[in-house]
């Protein structure tokens, strides 16, 4: 059915075009990081030169707890973007995600735009991606096929009820998806991560997902890129304007989901509106194991290429080291212990 495949590919192209502008930010709501301040430690004993972020993630070594969020694939432009994102991830030794692989099931015209990530990021965690709305209609073999296509170390299922509601030809039907996730967790042989795309995951929703066996929650909270905004602009009408700022601020998602760590073992990825080193530091101090960012990285790549992204992320982690020194945290576990106060 070429027409359908064209439309998915065109949609991906539109997403990239709109996300390279500032028109798709939240209008009034923020991720909420400004509500927190770091507690200064006048007697810090931290040696800044000894702070290291080396760790393991999904079976691979990483140098920084950072993920380039799932963005693209399945359209011509995506090949070049994914090539450069992969190069940046490999240089930095950080994780990188591919965008929704739904298009790859329609035909193989754009398979190379997905595969290019693993090819150029052989040593770091690569995350596959598919939508929860699509998972419902797919058997496990198809998802295993998508996992293998990108040689994924973990498979992300994105939950986007708001986007599906607004998107032209969207599929706002998620009933039964948790059962499907439970089956996939058993079949996929790699960790399954559940993520939103910018409206956030509540602690209650996270609990349901963890009970299905997912091994990671990526908050993708409100305050960064508004995916209802993206679809409203694509639809060229304002009937859904009231949903532009819909969602749970990222800082709240992280704070609440972190509390589940006392009963569940999982990787908490803090994302949604992480646009600076200080945002990233606050996400990690609130309890995220890993921070992630999407649109900011895409824009940096567009303007300054691979070296721009590498310098940006290195700069954020230099800032984090200074903040850890000033808060008296030698490592990230210490940094998660009461280093913030509400303003």
- The residues that touch ligand FMN, with contacts defined as CB under 6 A, are 15-16, 19, 69-72, 99-100, 129, 156, 158, 195, 197-198, 220, 224-225, 271-274, 293-296, 298
Helix axes of 76-92 and 2-19: crossing angle, nearest 10 degrees: 50
Helix axes of 295-327 and 277-286: crossing angle, nearest 10 degrees: 60
| One-character DSSP codes across 171-239 | ----TTHHHHHHHHHHHSSS-EEEE-SSS---HHHHHHHHHTT-SEEE---BTSB-HHHHHHHHHT--T
Min separation Cβ 223 and ligand FMN, Å: 7
User: Which C-beta is closer to ligand FMN: that of 253 or that of 298?
Assistant: 298
User: Which C-beta is closer to ligand FMN: that of 133 or that of 197?
Assistant: 197
Min separation Cβ 262 and ligand FMN, Å: 26
Strands 267-271 and 60-62: unpaired
What is the distance of C-alpha 6 from the center of its chain?
A: 26
Distance CA 210, CA 100 (A): 22
Min separation Cβ 249 and ligand FMN, Å: 11
Distance CA 53, CA 106 (A): 40
Distance CA 88, CA 282 (A): 23
User: Which C-beta is closer to ligand FMN: that of 41 or that of 170?
Assistant: 170
Min separation Cβ 81 and ligand FMN, Å: 8
User: Which C-beta is closer to ligand FMN: that of 82 or that of 225?
Assistant: 225
User: Which C-beta is closer to ligand FMN: that of 143 or that of 298?
Assistant: 298
Min separation Cβ 198 and ligand FMN, Å: 4
Closest-by-Cβ residue to ligand FMN is 224
Strands 126-131 and 154-158: parallel
User: Which C-beta is closer to ligand FMN: that of 15 or that of 255?
Assistant: 15
Q: How many CA atoms lie within 13 A of 261 on its CB side?
A: 18
User: Which C-beta is closer to ligand FMN: that of 156 or that of 324?
Assistant: 156
Min separation Cβ 291 and ligand FMN, Å: 10
Distance CA 303, CA 21 (A): 12
Distance CA 6, CA 10 (A): 6
User: Which C-beta is closer to ligand FMN: that of 51 or that of 320?
Assistant: 320
- Count of beta carbons in the 10 Å neighbourhood of residue 239: 9
Min separation Cβ 176 and ligand FMN, Å: 20
Min separation Cβ 42 and ligand FMN, Å: 34
CB neighbour burial string for 272-299, b if at least 16 within 10 angstroms, e if fewer: bbbbbbbbbbbbbbbbbbbbbbbbbbbb
């Amino acid at each position: 059915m070429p027409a359908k495949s064209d439309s998915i590919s065109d949609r991906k192209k539109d997403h990239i075009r709109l996300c390279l502008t500032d028109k798709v930010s939240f209008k009034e709501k923020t991720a909420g990081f400004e509500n927190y301040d770091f507690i200064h430690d006048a007697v810090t004993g931290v040696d800044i030169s000894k702070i290291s972020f080396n760790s393991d993630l999904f079976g691979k070594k990483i140098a920084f707890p950072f993920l380039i969020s799932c963005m693209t694939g399945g359209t011509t432009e995506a090949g070049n973007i994914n090539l450069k994102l992969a190069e940046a991830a490999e240089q930095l030794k950080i994780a990188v995600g591919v965008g929704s692989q739904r298009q790859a099931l329609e035909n193989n015209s754009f398979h190379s735009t997905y595969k290019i990530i693993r090819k150029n990021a052989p040593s770091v965690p690569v995350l596959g991606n598919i939508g929860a709305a699509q998972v419902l209609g797919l058997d496990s073999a198809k998802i295993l096929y998508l996992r293998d296509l990108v040689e994924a170390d973990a498979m992300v299922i994105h939950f986007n009820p708001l986007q599906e509601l607004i998107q032209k030809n969207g599929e706002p039907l998620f009933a039964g998806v948790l059962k499907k996730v439970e089956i996939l967790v058993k079949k996929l042989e790699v960790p399954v991560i559940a993520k939103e795309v910018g409206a956030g995951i509540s602690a209650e929703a996270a609990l349901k997902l963890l009970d299905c066996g997912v091994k990671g929650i990526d908050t993708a909270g409100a305050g960064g890129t508004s995916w209802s905004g993206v679809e409203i602009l694509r639809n060229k009408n304002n009937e859904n304007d009231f949903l532009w700022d819909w969602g749970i601020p990222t800082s709240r998602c992280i704070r609440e989901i972190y509390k589940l760590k006392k009963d569940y073992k999982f990787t908490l990825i803090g994302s949604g509106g992480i646009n600076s080193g200080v945002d990233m530091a606050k996400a990690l101090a609130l309890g995220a194991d890993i921070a992630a960012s999407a649109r900011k990285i895409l824009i940096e790549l567009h303007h300054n290429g691979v070296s721009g992204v590498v310098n940006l992320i290195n700069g954020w982690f230099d800032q984090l080291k200074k903040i850890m020194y000033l808060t008296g945290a030698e490592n990230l576990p210490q940094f998660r212990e009461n280093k913030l106060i509400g303003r």
